[in-house]
Chain A
């Protein structure tokens, strides 16, 4: 059948108005390449999920959690229970993360939960607070609350 058609095409003088597949593939290829290139440097939006204080459901509120306070100062300095951690320039906060991890492990051993309260200075950059949240995620601490102002 195909042979017949090509034979016919050869001899007819009429223009072939059929669907041109080759240019379509060209276009599809270009679009495809565009999206491949774009996908390379796409920014994925992640999130730190938390509960606002005072609204966490109390299923078994028997064990009192060990409370840890983290203070974020306006210059970016982070304090863990009044102890300065890392330098304000350190974005990864390795010291904070490892200390928290140790605390979490020791709390896990005793069966208590770790509760971290972040006291961020009004003028501290939000980015720094997210750095702290990131360190908390690395230390596998999910119980985080926020408090305005300085700790009492």
Chain B
């Protein structure tokens, strides 16, 4: 319309600059929503599906810390992964948790357990978190 070719001569002017603006905004939007998960997540585990779980609270995002529990089918046990580090001795995680709790009073530990992990292993992780003095925990689940 504006700038659209008036008269017969001359090619109709297509306003490229606003179009790029719009495209870039859309692009940024989609980049943002696809990479919204900035938490240290472990791609090697399948989260249990729970459609009714609550959405993450954005204000708590910076207080969250993920503890991943992978499933080891061979031993039927959980494998504790924290910040991409595999811990064989789970007690080693305790000082890290305590340190994080000291740094951030509002710390929330997100337990990202594999769907196949025995519940006993999750109980062990919870005990560990409780012993570290952290009471606010969350169980991560996938929406589908």
Residue of A nearest to B109 (CB): A52
Q: Tell whether B119 is near chain A: CB-to-CB under 8 Å.
A: yes
Interface-central residue, B31, B39, B50, B129, by most chain A CB under 10 Å = B50
A: number of interface residues (CB 8 Å): 46
CB distance from B73 to the nearest CB of A (A): 12
The answer to whether A52 and B135 have CB atoms under 8 Å apart is yes
Specify the main secondary structure of chain B where it touches its partner: mixed
CB distance from A22 to the nearest CB of B (A): 8
The answer to whether B54 and A47 have CB atoms under 8 Å apart is yes
- The residues in B between 30 and 66 inclusive whose CB is less than 8 angstroms from any CB of A are 30-31, 33-34, 37, 39, 41, 47-56
Chosen A-B contacts, 7 in total, with CB atoms closer than 8 Å, are A32-B26, A39-B34, A44-B142, A46-B143, A48-B54, A55-B135, A125-B117
Chain B residues close to A by CB (< 8 Å): 16, 19-20, 23-24, 26-27, 30-31, 33-34, 37, 39, 41, 47-56, 69, 108, 110, 113-123, 126-127, 129-130, 134-144
Chain A residues close to B by CB (< 8 Å): 21, 24-25, 28-29, 31-32, 35-36, 38-39, 42-56, 72, 91, 120-131, 133-134, 137-138, 146, 148
8 closest A-B pairs (Cβ-Cβ)?
Answer: A122-B120, A35-B30, A55-B135, A46-B53, A120-B119, A127-B115, A130-B48, A47-B138
